[in-house]
Structure 1
Amino acid sequence: MTAALQLKDVCKSFGPANVIEGVSLEVKRGERHAIIGPNGAGKSTLFNLISGLFPSTSGQILLSGRQICGLKPFEINRLGLSRSFQVSNIFANMSVRENVRCAVLWSLGYGHSFWRNIGNLKEVQRKTAEVLDKVGLSDKADVPAVLLTYADQRTLEIAITIAGGADVILLDEPTAGMSHSETNRAIELIEMASEGKTLLIVEHDMGVVFGLSDRISVLVYGEIIATGTPEEIRGDARVREAYLGDEADFAEVTA
């Protein structure tokens, strides 16, 4: 079966600085795959390459077997890949409902149309309401997104991802800055959002990573040094050294 997402010897340089050095990675369909690594490892850069925000210097990136290097972010999105960012990326002055509805419109094939009354698009209204209910934002549907709490803004991003109908979802540190209870709620939303889909996630919270992922890849200085199940990664000496600088017990970090 063709992998949902495949990277083949991907490199990225900024002038003389090599940030990503020959990364090869295969994410299976329906898999929840995490990328972890120390600060500055190149995790967000790798996401930017996959989503088309940065052009790669060399290598191949395949989405369901199709080469996507050189495509623009919106073109990649329309092929079935959606992503979130470390910093909330929403339409701040639009309501929660309007934010979700924008994603729904594109997913149902509606482009720019100045003469179409959105209120008459019953399927758009139904799906928008369905997504808001699923993520628990129905009671905030008419609230301007800028007035949401930080956790609710992150929830709105997940809602937009769901509404877009993408088969491959990239989440960049979705629980960063959240309290313990907010993180638990976010995990539930991520599990719900990725059901039946392929998830690639960058996350610093090891409890989230090891509780959510089917497989984990470890990125260090632009290179993947290990890929495996949570149990395999937890026991890998190279991973312990990358995170702790010695052979200390990585299980304490990932518990």
Structure 2
Amino acid sequence: MSALALQLKDLRKSFGPAKIIEGVSLDIARGERHAIIGPNGAGKSTLFNLISGLFPPSSGQISLGGKQINGLKPHQINRLGLSRSFQVSNIFANMSVRENVRCGVLWSLGYGHSFWRNIGNLKEVQHKTAEVLEKVGLTEKADVPAVLLTYADQRTLEIAITIAGGADVILLDEPTAGMSHSETARAIELIERATEGKTLLIVEHDMGVVFGLSDRISVLVYGEIIATGTPEEIRGNARVREAYLGDETDMAEVTA
């Protein structure tokens, strides 16, 4: 088994003449918490879309646990052990919190579209669903329709769905966007708890979240990674400082 959870080799993506990802290479070890940061338009979400199979790469290679996944569909990549969230909450609004989580659990346990089964009799599914709800702190809201949750709780539910399938590699795309400081603090604790023992790749603008969670950080600018290192190394990197010039907020956070 490969010691690397995820490996990108000279990954490139163009849309017509527009080059969005230009030669990204990155090794992420098993169990590592790795953040991707960079200015708006740097290509962070496109990179996530390539890794999770929403977009095919123009060239280059993506490996998950040593297995090349180029060209696989998102559900095939998910079944190989990778799951992701999105910038915008992606939940079943009219289903209960429990039902949302249970959807992810069902696929992970191999039930799929088993219309003739009584879900209430699937004790393994019920147990795993309850376990995930407990882990993210949504047990008391299990029967609440997802549409009635607060924004922060909807983001929590999305994380719950993301981990419900038991994937070893978790991709979170701006999980704390739009949250207050107190909500963000709770989200950090949740992410740490929910991804314990797993590999985490996170895109995030909040530098407090990035430096609080990450083992290593990569800085993506105009489709290229200009630096990768520990939080301390990234704080002191001159190229990172230059990349954030003109954005005083980001500069203050990076150098704090």
The ranges of structure 1 where at least 4 consecutive aligned residues each deviate by more than 6 angstroms after the TM superposition are 248-251
Give the alignment of 1:88-103 within 5 angstroms. 88-103=89-104
| Structure 1 match to 2:29 | 28
CA–CA distance in structure 2, aligned partners of residues 250 and 137 of structure 1? 33
Q: Does the CA-based 8 Å contact 2:107-2:165 persist in structure 1?
A: yes
The residue number in structure 1 matching 2:236 is 235
Give 1:231 shift: 0.4
| Structure-to-structure mapping, 1:117-132, within 5 angstroms | 117-132=118-133
Deviations 1:139-167 (A, max 9, x none): 11111111111100000011112211000
Matched AA of 2:45: S
2:75 alignment partner in structure 1: 74
Cα shift readout 1:93-128 (whole Å, capped 9, x = no counterpart): 111000000111111111211111000001111111
Note the residue ranges of structure 1 that are not aligned, 5 or more in a row.
none
Is the Cα–Cα contact under 8 Å of residues 36 and 218 in structure 1 kept in the other structure?
yes
Match of 1:115 in 2: 116
Aligned to 1:165: 166
Root-mean-square deviation over aligned CA pairs: 1.5
CA distance in 2, matches of 1:109, 1:250: 44
- Tell me which amino acid in the other structure corresponds to 1:17: A
1:28 maps to a residue whose letter is: A
Deviation at 1:251, TM superposition (A): 7.0
Gaps of 5+ in 2: none
Q: Deviations over 1:217-249 (max 9, x none)?
A: 000000000000000000000000101259x99
SS in 1 for 2:86: coil
Give distance in 2, aligned partners of 1:236 and 1:250.
14
* Corresponding residue of 1:189: 190
> Equivalent residues in 2 for 1:38-77 (5 A)?
38-77=39-78
Secondary structure, counterpart of 1:208 in structure 2: helix
- C-alpha contact 1:234 1:250 (8 A) present in aligned 2: no
Between the aligned partners of 2:116 and 2:249, the Cα distance in structure 1 is 63
CA distance in 2 between counterparts of 1:44 and 1:76 reads 17
Residue correspondences, number: 254
2-side partners of 1:139 and 1:203: how far apart?
28
**SS of residue in 1 equivalent to 2:244:** helix
TM-score w.r.t. the length of structure 1 is 0.97
> Does structure 1 residue 252 correspond to structure 2 residue 240?
no
Query: Is the contact between residue 42 and residue 219 of structure 1 (CA under 8 Å) also seen in structure 2?
Result: yes
**Residue 96 of structure 1 aligns to which amino acid in structure 2?**
V
Q: Residues 135 and 194 of structure 2 are in contact (CA less than 8 Å); yes or no, is this contact kept in structure 1? A: no
Cα distance in 2 for residues equivalent to 1:249 and 1:231: 19
Q: Is the 8 A contact 1:7 1:62 kept in 2?
A: yes
- Say yes or no: does 1:216 pair with 2:225: no
SS in 1 for 2:201: strand
* Percentage of matched positions with identical amino acids: 87
What's the offset of the Cα at 1:250? 7.6
